[in-house]
Amino acid sequence: MDNISDGLKRRFRDPKMREQYLKLFDDVVKDPAVAQFLKDNQERLSKQDIITGFSKLYEFVNLRKELAAGKQTFAPGYEPQLIVSDHHIEVVYHPTAKMVEHQQAQQRQKMVGMINLPKGLRNARIEDYDISGREEPLRAALTFIDECIDYQKNGNFPKGLYLSGSLGVGKTYLLAAIANKLAENGIQSMMIHFPSFSVEMTGAIQNGNPNQILNQIKQVPVLMLDDIGATRLTSWMRDDVLGIILEYRMQNELPTLFSSNLSMKDLQEQYLTYNNRGDSEPLKAMRIMERIKFLATEYQMVGPNRRNPE
Ligand code: ADP
Ligand code: MG
């Protein structure tokens, strides 16, 4: 650094000031983080670049001292880093690891709050998903998540999943794991237990506003209709609620997922064809099924009933 000091000496005529400045300079360049930075960038920085960028080095060292002393800095939660940009030394600020963790937790909390998941499913993690016998749906779930993340940027419609399989095989759990992963990526989803929703909507006709609920639900970024096919539907529920939701989501290409004890074929032939009074309406069933097929691909899930492990 002697040559640099020579360069600096020339800049200060007043010996007292020069001495003070040199001392300051010396302290800064000897700071281990600065020394390392200068070493890493010795090819890219001339002596003059270092002298010109001294104020940046000084800012960096000072801020790190304040952080180390636990002081509140002008940018709480951020830490400085030195970079070289076109031969200039610059200080950039990055969120600290603690800050990133805090922001992510907050974001997750916010999103999960909107997912409306049963308590036991809030911690369902796709990373922990036991895959035996369910490789295909899991792979499809991971692809769907990636496509949803891309969807934010390029608008390509991600086709959803229709998970079919018997009770306890893990359909709801997989949907919840998808919802949690989407939340981590800032994507809001809503899971609706379809049988309870039917009851709620029927109640809303008498003492609420079914259209308000309907409008909210049809627009959520990612909609999961859980356990569709479990209870009988009225024609109104099928055509004017389910039909409207699916139509809207199809027209607007909004990601939609389903889980059911029934295959798509059985859903159409056994569930959607007959209303709660037993009338057979195959054409109406077909219309609904067309929309479901547009929105989602069917995946059969097999395996033991995990609700009652032996
Ligand atoms: P389904 O919706 O198909 O009836 P659930 O998703 O409710 O089945 O799963 C049944 C039980 O098994 C739940 O208690 C759930 O938490 C648990 N479970 C399902 N899949 C997994 C998994 N991959 N890892 C851990 N627990 C699981
Ligand atoms: Mg379920």
pLDDT in tens, 142-175: 999 999 999 988 889 999 999 999 998 999 999 9
- How many CB atoms within 10 Å of residue 228? 25
Cα 102 to Cα 63: distance, rounded to the nearest angstrom = 21
User: Best mutation site among 122, 132, 173, 300 for ligand 1, i.e. most ligand atoms within 8 A of its Cβ?
Assistant: 173
Cα 78 to Cα 74: distance, rounded to the nearest angstrom = 9
The 8-class DSSP code of residue 121 comes to G
Q: What integer pLDDT is reported at residue 115 of this predicted model? A: 56
How far, in Å, is the centroid of ligand 2 from the Cα of 41? 57
Strand 160-164 relative to strand 88-95: parallel, antiparallel, unpaired?
unpaired
pLDDT surpassing 80 at residue 133: no
Q: What integer pLDDT is reported at residue 310 of this predicted model? A: 45
Q: Is 307 in the pocket of ligand 1 (CB under 6 A)?
A: yes
**Which residue is listed with tokens 């997922």?**
257
pLDDT in tens, 178-199: 998 998 888 888 888 898 888 8
Which residue, by CA, sits nearest to atom 21 of ligand 1? 170
Helices 54-68 and 15-30: crossing angle in degrees, nearest 10, is: 60
Q: What integer pLDDT is reported at residue 245 of this predicted model? A: 96
> Using DSSP, how many helices (H) and how many strands (E) does the chain show?
14, 7
The alpha-carbon radius of gyration of the chain (Å, integer) is: 30
Identify whether the C-beta of residue 78 lies closer than 8 Å to the C-beta of residue 35: no
pLDDT surpassing 50 at residue 296: yes
Cα 55 to Cα 41: distance, rounded to the nearest angstrom = 17
Tokens of 92: 């950039």
- Residue 130 CA: which ligand 1 atom is closest? 23
Q: Is 167 in the pocket of ligand 1 (CB under 6 A)?
A: yes
Which of 215, 209, 159, 217 minimizes the C-alpha distance to 192? 217
Cα 8 to Cα 86: distance, rounded to the nearest angstrom = 22
Q: Choose between 127 and 296: higher pLDDT.
A: 296
Q: What integer pLDDT is reported at residue 49 of this predicted model? A: 93
Which residue, by CA, sits nearest to atom 20 of ligand 1? 170
Which of 19, 97, 30 minimizes the C-alpha distance to 57? 30
Backbone φ, ψ for residue 185 (5° rounding) = -95, 15
Which of 150, 167, 166, 168 minimizes the C-alpha distance to 158? 150
pLDDT in tens, 28-39: 999 999 999 999
Q: Choose between 61 and 17: higher pLDDT.
A: 61
Which of these ranges, 60-74, 98-112, 194-208, has the smallest mean pLDDT?
A: 98-112
How far, in Å, is the centroid of ligand 1 from the Cα of 174? 8
Tokens of 219: 């627009």
pLDDT in tens, 274-295: 988 889 999 999 999 999 999 9
Which of 160, 165, 194 minimizes the C-alpha distance to 179? 160
Q: What integer pLDDT is reported at residue 232 of this predicted model? A: 86
Tokens of 165: 């399989």
pLDDT in tens, 235-283: 999 999 999 999 999 999 999 999 999 999 999 999 999 988 889 999 9
Average pLDDT over residues 8-20: 76
DSSP H or E stretch at residue 16: helix 15-30
Sheet arrangement for strand 189-193: 189-193, 222-226, 256-260, 160-164, 296-300
**Summary mean pLDDT of the chain:** 87
- How many CB atoms within 10 Å of residue 17? 11
How far, in Å, is the centroid of ligand 2 from the Cα of 190? 15
Ligand number nearest CA of 128 is 1
Which residue, by CA, sits nearest to atom 5 of ligand 1? 170
Cα 57 to Cα 82: distance, rounded to the nearest angstrom = 8
Name the 3-class secondary structure at 82: strand
Cα 34 to Cα 95: distance, rounded to the nearest angstrom = 20
Strand 189-193 relative to strand 222-226: parallel, antiparallel, unpaired?
parallel
